[in-house]
């Protein structure tokens, strides 16, 4: 692949979920530059590393994904944040989309869907 | 997705942590059921576990968590005090979760028993949720969305109007969110005039089967809008159609017309040209038990998708629908999914008044809305599993209720994909969960990555510790070989080396340390369970949870604490009635305190119960032939209490007769000793009992006193030593029977001939061989002090303990060995064992009356405080 590896920040409070997601991404040409375990860390890492894409879990301790998303969009309105949701969180996902999330993926993660979402987010970034 | 086994270790390790905190939080919730934060926290934890389990493919865990979560979600949305029944059932569910997790990790696969456990609990959880919802607390009134949607249809200019039809992938997840994303795109590039279904009423089924049809007013070129909608995941098709002049009128004309238009668009839904309910096959299968799955695959059972619109004049459509589903479930089949769900119907039923006849003329906006809503109320889609034909279903339906329209379609379900089968049934490979988990190094090269925690295999840590030990030894070697006048360069280098070595050593030690809270945190729940079981009212106070101990020790402590706490509640704390009689607070108190001092961690477990009756204890000990009556007479109060640790004092069947406790206290004691710790007891009749443990905070490096004896170099753990005195054999030595003693601070201290035990050939009468000025190391053991006679002192030093083979040390007099820089080896003495042997040789009866009756002092510097004293 000639393009530069897109950088990704993974935000999830469960180490397990991060590992699964990271493996999917790393195997498919993404550069996972950092991981965060709660909303505050996510904001901090985002500011520091300016990743191309951020995957954001919704339910997290300290500061949840929605709040972190709002802050990140405040920092960079073009930030591409993909929400990681579980079944039954439709309302929250809608809320996230309203606040500027560019897409969402649903747990349990299906690699093809994850990659599709990431790919779309990368394209959006390339245009915008 | 079924992830490979490479994630198992990680999964189990993390789940265990989550379960612990869940346990903790649920117990917390019980004491403060109004705390919204706890509810949120619990919801979050369960949610996390659910996500993890679903990802790795453990459906029994995922499903159970889902139901647990739903119940807490109810409380999240309806802030109120959490019912006791809810907590009970959640605790039950938590216990089942533990069971299922354990079973999977032991068997290496998800056995059908797991699914059964999960299913049972799920049903109970659903029941609880229904109960809560029906109890009427859930009736927050939702705004009338239909009304809103109609008001929104204001007159609009006619230019740039389009009808946009968006189709979504059948496998689409959360289709209504996707549809929402489409409306977002539209609104960014123009105005959304109206949509079918209405934006506020997206439902997954309709979106999948019908797609989204939106009338829009574009402010951007329509092609751009189309393109942007296509960029949304799962959108497979976007059709654009310019709205003709004539059609525009429908939107601008009066509301009645607009409603008609709305209905005419909607008429397709749900009764015409529908696709099956959006449940994909996998989801259908997931909702079935094993037997049903099998029967579905072999064709005995069939799945039908049913789309139903009840007749117009039905008074209580919700009730009808509920009855219908229940009838299906009771008599002919299994409704595995329905929209709206039964739960929703129950809620709606309570919320909504019976239908009015709709034949009245529609002449106001609100009535229009009513009309729309009424129609919605009579609709239902569901999937039915039944052993019967298409016709059977239709017959049953028409018997059961009055129907306006109905559509029944069979869903062909193929057997699940191979992968699932493999994972569920053929994966017999044993799987072991390591104590800790190795994580592959992150693949990213970024130097900025900071992970908060790295999990390390305990074995690796052990090797690291050993390597550090070698480093210390070799550093000392270098120092010794430098001679008296090393060059300043070498001197400064070795000094720096020393600093670094010490630093590494400290770091490794700190890595091994974990807060004692890891054990403490299990006790609120434990005490809750035990006190219920024994019907006693007990509350727990914990202090010093952050005190750190060696990881290896912490696991051992759990067992010890459980024993002690159980005893305290079982035999210490009185029943509420008894307590009232004695003017004690109704609720008993158990206190667990921890603090560290020097190399030791002290843990006190005390209760304010009835205490131990020394007379009864004595009687018991005599009866069990542990001591003779004469011996008993001579015992001090502390010594009597210490009898409780004697082997064979209590047998399980008589425990409760005993005034205090006794179940396996000898076991507790030997456990504590094996950790190099000590245990002591203090009890006041009627006021309570307090047991104190002193445990070395680590068992790898200790402070020790090095001594030289004829038989070699020895180390005595500093924690055992009270003091070191130099005695004059002629003046200070007294003889009582066969024992040589000295008197120190008004205490009688028997002298122990170390050599006799360490070296088989030591002369019996060692006193004669002693130099006139001898050194005595005074050690404490079981509340008494003893003097060890040593030849010379080498010094005090931090030593690294290396275990030695039991064969080399059959009597257990040696606790391990340590190696010094110069290659010398010192044995670490097991003082307690030596004293025991000494007492065997010099049994208590040989000690004259009064000898031990003086105040012997205690194991510890201060006496153990009792609660409330």
> Mind listing the pLDDT tens digit for each residue in B462-477?
788 778 877 877 777 7
Q: Rg of chain B's alpha carbons, rounded to an integer?
A: 39
CA distance B689 to B678: 17
**Which tokens is B304 given?**
């039908």
Residue A57: closest CA among A92, A29, A24, A98: A92
Number of domains in chain B: 6
Instruction: Answer yes or no: do B153 and B123 share one domain.
Output: no
Q: What is the CATH number of the domain that holds B43?
A: 1.20.120.160
Cβ burial B664-696 (10 Å sphere, 16+ → b, else e)? bbbebbebbbebbbbbbbbbeeebbbbbbbbbb
Residue A85 lies in a domain: yes
- A106, B451: Cβ pair inside 8 Å? no
Contact A104, A85 (CB under 8 A): yes
Q: What is the CATH number of the domain that holds A113?
A: 3.40.50.2300
Of all residues in chain B, the one with the smallest CA distance to A6 is: B444
Residue B55: closest CA among A73, A9, A114: A114
**What is the count of residue pairs from A and B with beta carbons less than 8 Å apart?**
105
Residue-level pLDDT at B571: 83
Identify the residue among B1, B11, B51, B168 best suited for mutation to test binding to A, counting A beta carbons within 10 A and taking the highest: B51
Contact B665, B650 (CB under 8 A): yes
**Which tokens is B672 given?**
């504590």
Residue-level pLDDT at B592: 93
Asked if B174 reaches chain A (Cβ–Cβ under 8 Å), the answer is: yes
Domain that holds residue A114: 7-123
Asked if A13 reaches chain B (Cβ–Cβ under 8 Å), the answer is: yes
Measure B12 CA to nearest chain A CA, in Å. 9
Of all residues in chain A, the one with the smallest CA distance to B43 is: A59
Q: Residue B802 has what DSSP assignment?
A: B
DSSP secondary structure of B295-317: HHHTTSSEEEEEEEEE-TT-S-H
Q: Which residues of chain B are within 8 Å of residue A120 when distances are taken between CB atoms?
A: 231, 233
CA distance B40 to A63: 12
What percent of chain A is helix, strand and coil (3-state, nearest 5)?
Answer: 50, 20, 30
pTM above 0.80, yes or no: no
Q: Which residues of chain B are within 8 Å of residue A111 when distances are taken between CB atoms?
A: 1
- A116, B11: Cβ pair inside 8 Å? no
Residue B451 lies in a domain: no
Instruction: Answer yes or no: do B660 and B525 share one domain.
Output: yes
Give strand pairing partners of B540: B590
- A90, B41: Cβ pair inside 8 Å? no
Size of chain A, expressed as the number of residues it contains: 128
CA distance B660 to B609: 9
Q: Which of B10, B11, B233 sits opposite A120 (nearest CB)?
A: B233
Residue A55 lies in a domain: yes
Instruction: Answer yes or no: do B734 and B800 share one domain.
Output: yes
**Which tokens is B216 given?**
């829009």
CA atoms within 13 A on the CB side of B352: 23
CA distance B344 to B346: 5
Which of B236, B266, B296 lies at the terminal end of a domain, its last residue?
B266
DSSP secondary structure of B834-867: HHHHHHHHS-GGGSPTTTTTS----SSSSPPPPT
Residue-level pLDDT at B611: 87
CA B708, distance to chain mean position in Å, is 50
Contact A80, A52 (CB under 8 A): yes
Residue B447 lies in a domain: no
- B43, A59: Cβ pair inside 8 Å? yes
- A90, B184: Cβ pair inside 8 Å? no
Sign of the torsion formed by the C-alpha atoms of B73, B76, B77 and B80? positive
Number of domains in chain A: 1
Residue A100: closest CA among A126, A74, A123: A74
Instruction: Answer yes or no: do B259 and B353 share one domain.
Output: no
- B44, A103: Cβ pair inside 8 Å? no
Q: Which residues of chain B are within 8 Å of residue A90 when distances are taken between CB atoms?
A: 174, 176-177
Instruction: Answer yes or no: do B66 and B180 share one domain.
Output: no
Q: Which residues of chain A are within 8 Å of residue B181 when distances are taken between CB atoms?
A: 97
Pairing of strands B513-515, B548-550: antiparallel
Asked if A16 reaches chain B (Cβ–Cβ under 8 Å), the answer is: yes
- A113, B55: Cβ pair inside 8 Å? no
Please give the C-alpha separations between residue B210 and each of B275, B411, B493, B749, B779, in angstroms, as whole numbers. 8, 18, 79, 94, 86
Instruction: Answer yes or no: do B527 and B672 share one domain.
Output: yes
Encode pLDDT of B835-858 as tens digits.
Answer: 888 887 776 544 444 444 443 433
Give strand pairing partners of B379: B309
Domain that holds residue B597: 520-533+557-696
Give strand pairing partners of B168: B235
Sign of the torsion formed by the C-alpha atoms of B152, B158, B161 and B163? positive
Measure A128 CA to nearest chain B CA, in Å. 12
Which one is predicted more confidently, B250 or A54?
A54
| CB-count burial class (<10 Å; 0-12, 13-18, 19+) for B280 | middle
Residue-level pLDDT at B124: 87
Q: What is the CATH number of the domain that holds B683?
A: 3.30.565.10
Question: ∠ CA(B177), CA(B182), CA(B184), 5° rounding?
Answer: 90
B494 CB-near residues (< 8 Å, 6+ apart): B475, B478, B479, B482, B486
Residue B185 lies in a domain: yes
Q: Which of A31, A48, A104 sits opposite B444 (nearest CB)?
A: A31
CA distance B638 to B635: 8
Residue-level pLDDT at B708: 87
pLDDT over threshold 90, residue A71: yes
B798: how many CB neighbours lie within 10 A of its CB?
A: 14
Asked if B11 reaches chain A (Cβ–Cβ under 8 Å), the answer is: yes
Task: Walk along chain B (869 residues) in steps of 10 and give the mean pLDDT of each run.
Answer: 66 86 87 86 88 85 88 84 86 88 84 85 87 60 39 48 85 84 84 78 76 82 84 85 54 39 38 42 68 73 79 74 76 76 74 49 46 71 77 73 74 53 36 34 36 66 78 77 79 84 81 84 84 85 87 81 86 86 88 84 90 84 81 81 76 39 69 81 89 80 82 85 84 79 84 79 66 85 82 80 70 79 80 83 54 40 39
Q: What average pLDDT does this structure show over A103-108?
A: 87
Biggest CA-to-CA distance, chain B = 127
Q: Which of B1, B48, B450 sits opposite A59 (nearest CB)?
A: B48
Q: What is the CATH number of the domain that holds B473?
A: 1.10.287.560
Q: Which residues of chain B are within 8 Å of residue A124 when distances are taken between CB atoms?
A: 231
Instruction: Answer yes or no: do B526 and B667 share one domain.
Output: yes
Residue A116 lies in a domain: yes
Asked if A17 reaches chain B (Cβ–Cβ under 8 Å), the answer is: yes
Residue B855 lies in a domain: no
Share of chain A above pLDDT 90, in %: 48
- Three-state SS for B510-542 is HHHEEECHHHHCCHHHHHHHHHHHCCCCEEEEE
List the 449-468 stretch of B: residues with Cβ below 8 A of A.
Answer: 449-453
Measure B61 CA to nearest chain A CA, in Å. 13
- Three-state SS for B129-145 is HHHHHHHHHCCCCCCCH
Q: Which of B7, B55, B443 sits opposite A107 (nearest CB)?
A: B55
Contact B229, B188 (CB under 8 A): no
Instruction: Answer yes or no: do B692 and B705 share one domain.
Output: no
For B625, the 3-state DSSP assignment is: coil
Residue B162 lies in a domain: yes
Q: Which of B18, B51, B450 sits opposite A107 (nearest CB)?
A: B51
| CB-count burial class (<10 Å; 0-12, 13-18, 19+) for B24 | buried
Measure B858 CA to nearest chain A CA, in Å. 47
Asked if B478 reaches chain A (Cβ–Cβ under 8 Å), the answer is: no
Of all residues in chain B, the one with the smallest CA distance to A114 is: B233
Of all residues in chain A, the one with the smallest CA distance to B187 is: A98
Measure B337 CA to nearest chain A CA, in Å. 15
| Torsion of Cα atoms, B720 then B725 then B731 then B736, to 10° | 0
Residue-level pLDDT at B281: 63
Q: Which of A34, A37, A59 sits opposite B448 (nearest CB)?
A: A34
**Which tokens is B214 given?**
């939106």
B99: how many CB neighbours lie within 10 A of its CB?
A: 15
Residue A2 lies in a domain: no
Sign of the torsion formed by the C-alpha atoms of B341, B346, B352 and B357? positive
Instruction: Answer yes or no: do B124 and B150 share one domain.
Output: no
| Torsion of Cα atoms, B547 then B553 then B559 then B564, to 10° | -50
Residue A1 lies in a domain: no
B50 CB-near residues (< 8 Å, 6+ apart): A86, B61, B62, B65, B66, B69
Residue-level pLDDT at B537: 87
- B11, A86: Cβ pair inside 8 Å? no
Identify the residue among A5, A7, A16, A109 best suited for mutation to test binding to B, counting B beta carbons within 10 A and taking the highest: A16
Residue B274 lies in a domain: no
Instruction: Answer yes or no: do B825 and B812 share one domain.
Output: yes
Residue-level pLDDT at B280: 55
List the 46-105 stretch of B: residues with Cβ below 8 A of A.
Answer: 47-48, 50-52, 54-57, 66, 70
CA distance B174 to B550: 48
Residue-level pLDDT at B361: 39
Instruction: Answer yes or no: do B370 and B484 share one domain.
Output: no
CA distance B860 to B782: 10
Residue-level pLDDT at B861: 36
Which of B210, B236, B266 lies at the terminal end of a domain, its last residue?
B266
Residue-level pLDDT at A10: 94
Residue B861 lies in a domain: no
Measure A12 CA to nearest chain B CA, in Å. 9
Q: Which of B43, B57, B231 sits opposite A124 (nearest CB)?
A: B231
Residue A128 lies in a domain: no
Residue-level pLDDT at B155: 43
Residue B323: closest CA among B342, B304, B310, B307: B342
List the 17-56 stretch of B: residues with Cβ below 8 A of A.
Answer: 18, 41, 43-44, 47-48, 50-52, 54-56
- A120, B7: Cβ pair inside 8 Å? no
- A49, B448: Cβ pair inside 8 Å? yes
DSSP secondary structure of B156-177: ---TTEEEEEEEE-TT-SSHHH
CA distance B437 to A90: 34
Asked if A33 reaches chain B (Cβ–Cβ under 8 Å), the answer is: yes
Instruction: Answer yes or no: do B97 and B198 share one domain.
Output: no
Which of B415, B449, B468 lies at the terminal end of a domain, its last residue?
B415
Q: Which residues of chain A are within 8 Å of residue B442 when distances are taken between CB atoms?
A: 22, 32
Question: ∠ CA(B393), CA(B394), CA(B400), 5° rounding?
Answer: 90
Q: Which residues of chain A are within 8 Å of residue B18 when distances are taken between CB atoms?
A: 14
Q: Which residues of chain B are within 8 Å of residue A104 when distances are taken between CB atoms?
A: 174, 177
Residue A38 lies in a domain: yes
Q: What is the CATH number of the domain that holds B405?
A: 3.30.70.1110
List the 77-96 stretch of A: residues with Cβ below 8 A of B.
Answer: 85-88, 90, 93-94
- A93, B174: Cβ pair inside 8 Å? yes
Measure B46 CA to nearest chain A CA, in Å. 10
DSSP secondary structure of B814-842: EEEEEE-TTS-EEEEE-HHHHHHHHHHHS
Size of chain B, expressed as the number of residues it contains: 869
Of all residues in chain B, the one with the smallest CA distance to A118 is: B233
For B421, the 3-state DSSP assignment is: helix
CA distance B735 to B26: 63
Of all residues in chain A, the one with the smallest CA distance to B17 is: A14
């Amino acid at each position: 692949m000639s393009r530069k590896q897109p950088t990704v920040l993974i935000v999830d409070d469960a180490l397990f979920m991060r590992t699964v997601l990271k493996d999917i991404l790393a195997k498919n040409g993404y550069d996972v530059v950092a991981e965060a375990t709660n909303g505050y860390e996510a904001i901090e890492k985002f500011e520091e590393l300016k990743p191309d894409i951020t995957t954001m879990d919704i339910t997290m301790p300290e500061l949840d994904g929605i709040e972190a998303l709002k802050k990140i969009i405040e920092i960079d309105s073009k930030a591409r944040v993909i929400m990681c949701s579980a079944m039954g969180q439709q309302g929250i996902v809608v809320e996230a989309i309203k606040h500027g999330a560019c897409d969402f993926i649903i747990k349990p993660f299906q690699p093809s869907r994850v990659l599709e979402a990431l790919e779309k987010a990368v394209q959006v970034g390339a245009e915008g | 997705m079924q992830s490979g086994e490479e994630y198992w270790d990680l999964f189990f390790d993390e789940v265990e942590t989550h379960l612990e905190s869940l346990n903790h939080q649920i117990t917390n919730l019980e004491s403060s059921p109004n705390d919204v934060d706890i509810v949120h926290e619990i919801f979050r934890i369960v949610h996390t576990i659910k996500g993890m389990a679903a990802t790795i493919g453990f459906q029994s865990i995922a499903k159970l968590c889902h139901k647990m979560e739903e119940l807490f979600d109810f409380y999240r949305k309806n802030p109120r005090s959490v019912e006791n029944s809810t907590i009970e059932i959640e605790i039950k569910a938590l216990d089942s979760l533990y069971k299922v997790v354990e079973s999977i990790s032991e068997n290496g696969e998800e056995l059908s028993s797991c699914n059964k456990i999960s299913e049972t609990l799920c049903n109970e959880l659903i029941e609880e949720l229904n109960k809560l919802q029906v109890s009427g607390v859930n009736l927050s009134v939702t705004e009338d969305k239909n009304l809103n949607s109609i008001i929104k249809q204001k007159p609009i200019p006619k230019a740039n109007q389009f009808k946009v039809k968006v189709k979504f992938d059948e496998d689409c997840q959360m289709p209504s969110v996707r549809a929402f994303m489409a409306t977002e795109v539209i609104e960014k590039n123009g105005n959304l005039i109206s949509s079918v279904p209405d934006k506020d009423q997206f439902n997954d089924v309709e979106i999948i089967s019908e797609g989204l049809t939106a009338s829009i007013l574009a402010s951007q070129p329509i092609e751009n809008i189309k393109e942007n909608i296509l960029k949304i995941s799962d959108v497979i098709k976007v059709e654009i159609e310019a709205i003709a002049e004539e059609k525009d009128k429908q939107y601008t004309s009066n509301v009645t017309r607009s409603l008609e238009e709305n209905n005419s668009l909607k008429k397709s839904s749900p009764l015409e040209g529908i696709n099956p309910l959006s449940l994909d096959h996998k989801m259908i299968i997931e909702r079935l038990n094993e037997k049903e799955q099998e029967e579905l695959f072999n064709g005995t059972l069939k799945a039908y998708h049913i789309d139903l619109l009840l007749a117009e004049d039905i008074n209580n459509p919700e009730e009808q629908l509920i009855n219908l589903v229940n009838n299906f479930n009771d008599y002919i089949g299994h409704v595995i999914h329905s929209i709206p769900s039964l739960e929703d119907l129950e809620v709606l039923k309570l919320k909504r008044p019976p239908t009015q006849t709709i034949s009245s003329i529609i002449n106001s906006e609100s009535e229009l809305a009513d009309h729309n809503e009424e129609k919605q109320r009579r609709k239902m889609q569901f999937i039915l599993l039944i052993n019967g034909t298409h016709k059977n279903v239709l017959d049953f339906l028409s018997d059961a209720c009055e129907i306006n329209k109905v559509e029944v379609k069979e869903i062909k379900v193929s057997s699940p994909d191979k992968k699932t089968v493999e994972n569920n049934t053929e994966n017999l490979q044993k799987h072991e969960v390591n104590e800790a988990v190795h994580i592959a190094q992150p693949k990213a090269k970024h130097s900025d990555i900071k992970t908060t925690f790295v999990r390390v295999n305990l074995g690796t840590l052990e090797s690291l510790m050993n390597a550090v030990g070698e480093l210390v030894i070799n550093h000392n070697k270098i120092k010794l070989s430098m001679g008296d006048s090393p060059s300043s360069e070498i001197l400064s280098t070795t000094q720096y080396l020393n600093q670094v070595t010490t630093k590494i050593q400290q770091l490794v030690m700190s890595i091994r340390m974990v807060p004692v809270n890891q054990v403490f945190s299990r006790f609120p729940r434990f005490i809750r369970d035990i006190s219920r079981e024994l019907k006693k009212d007990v509350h727990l106070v914990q202090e010093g949870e952050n005190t750190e101990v060696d990881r290896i020790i912490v696991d051992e402590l759990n067992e010890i604490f459980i024993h002690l706490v159980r005893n305290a509640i079982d035999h210490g704390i009185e029943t509420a009635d008894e307590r009232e009689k004695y003017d004690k607070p109704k609720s008993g108190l158990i206190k667990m305190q921890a603090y560290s001092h020097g190399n030791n961690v002290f843990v006190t477990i005390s209760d304010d119960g009835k205490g131990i009756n020394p007379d009864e204890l004595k009687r018991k000990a005599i009866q069990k032939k542990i001591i003779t009556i004469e011996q008993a007479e001579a015992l001090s109060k502390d010594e009597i209490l210490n009898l409780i640790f004697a082997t064979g004092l209590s047998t399980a069947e008589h425990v409760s007769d005993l005034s205090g406790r006794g179940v396996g206290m000898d076991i507790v004691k030997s456990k504590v000793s094996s950790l190099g710790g000590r245990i002591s007891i203090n009890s006041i009749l009627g006021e309570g009992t307090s047991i104190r443990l002193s445990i070395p905070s680590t068992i790898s490096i200790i402070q020790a006193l090095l001594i030289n004896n004829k038989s070699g170099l020895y180390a005595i753990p500093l924690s055992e030593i009270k003091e070191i005195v130099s005695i004059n054999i002629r003046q200070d030595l007294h003889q009582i029977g066969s024992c040589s003693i000295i008197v120190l601070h008004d205490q009688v201290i028997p002298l122990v001939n170390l050599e006799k035990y360490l070296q088989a050939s030591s002369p019996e009468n060692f006193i004669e061989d002693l130099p006139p000025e001898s050194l005595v190391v005074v050690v404490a053991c079981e509340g008494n002090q003893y003097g060890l006679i040593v030849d010379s002192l080498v010094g005090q030093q931090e030593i690294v303990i290396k275990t030695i083979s039991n064969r080399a040390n059959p009597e257990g007099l040696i606790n391990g060995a340590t190696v010094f820089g110069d290659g010398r080896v010192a044995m670490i003495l097991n003082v307690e064992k030596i004293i025991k042997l000494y007492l065997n040789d010099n049994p208590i009866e040989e000690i004259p009356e009064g000898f031990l009756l003086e105040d012997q002092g205690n194991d510890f510097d201060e006496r153990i405080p009792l609660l409330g004293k």
